[in-house]
Amino acid sequence: MKTDIVLAGVGGQGILSIAAAIGLAAVKENLYIKQSEIHGMSQKGGEVYSHLRLSDKPVYSDMIPLGQGDLILSVEPLESLRYLPFLKKEGWLVTNSKGYLNIPDYPEIETLVKEIEKIPNHLLVDADRIAREAGSLKAANMVMLGAAAPFIQVSEENLEDAIRTLFARKGEEVVEKNVKAFRAGMKEAGEVS
């Protein structure tokens, strides 16, 4: 059993929280984990990614080998395409459909959607809308985690517990908003796929 996940987004969109939640859940299931992160220069409104590798056997490389990723989980559609070389043939691309427009030459969203639809296993999620409906636009990252949960080989209960642990520091209200967002994302994935 292994799940190799590329997490993608723009600096500040909370992909490290997604990584932390999956990591916590995987620890609970006694899996081996390696998680590489991006720190430094590119954090400032630039492209950021994290490689998360879960397996029941020891993991060697900190980076996912090209063409072997099981899942690209992206909080931003343009960013979801940047890491396609890592995705295996039958891999899943799960991405937020709402663009983060902070560059002058941001492509037409239709062009991006067309590229995303070329990937046989893809799931486009309007995470910003779902997050807003669930009570916090900030929790769009947890909507995306929910939407991708079916493709991650750790149980949904453990993921939810991990979210509770992760946000516990910030108070009950923040925890509930994030859990609600996670569940809404999961529901969306269930309806679409």
Amino acid occupying residue 114: K
Phi and psi, residue 152, nearest 5° = -110, 130
Stretch that binds another protein, among 39-47, 130-138, 159-167, 174-182 (CB under 8 A): 39-47
Phi and psi, residue 47, nearest 5° = -70, 135
Measured from the CB atom, is 86 or 151 closer to another protein?
Answer: 86
How far apart CA 66 and CA 63 sit, in angstroms, is 9
Question: Contacts with another protein in 103-162 (CB under 8 A)?
Answer: 103, 105-107, 111-112, 115, 118
Total count of residues recorded for the chain: 193
Stretch that binds another protein, among 25-33, 127-135, 159-167, 184-192 (CB under 8 A): 25-33
Q: At closest approach, how far in Å is the CB of 7 from another protein?
A: 13
How far apart CA 119 and CA 25 sit, in angstroms, is 28
Contact 154, 26 (CB under 8 A): yes
Q: Give residues with Cβ within 8 angstroms of 28, minimum separation 6.
A: 154, 158, 161, 162
How far apart CA 122 and CA 166 sit, in angstroms, is 28
- Residue 16 in contact with another protein, rule: CB under 8 A: no
Question: Contacts with another protein in 64-103 (CB under 8 A)?
Answer: 65-67, 78-79, 81-82, 84-87, 102-103
- Residues contacting another protein: total by CB under 8 A: 47
Measured from the CB atom, is 89 or 191 closer to another protein?
Answer: 89
Q: For binding to another protein (CB under 8 A), which residues are involved?
A: 10-11, 23, 27, 32-47, 51, 57, 59-63, 65-67, 78-79, 81-82, 84-87, 102-103, 105-107, 111-112, 115, 118
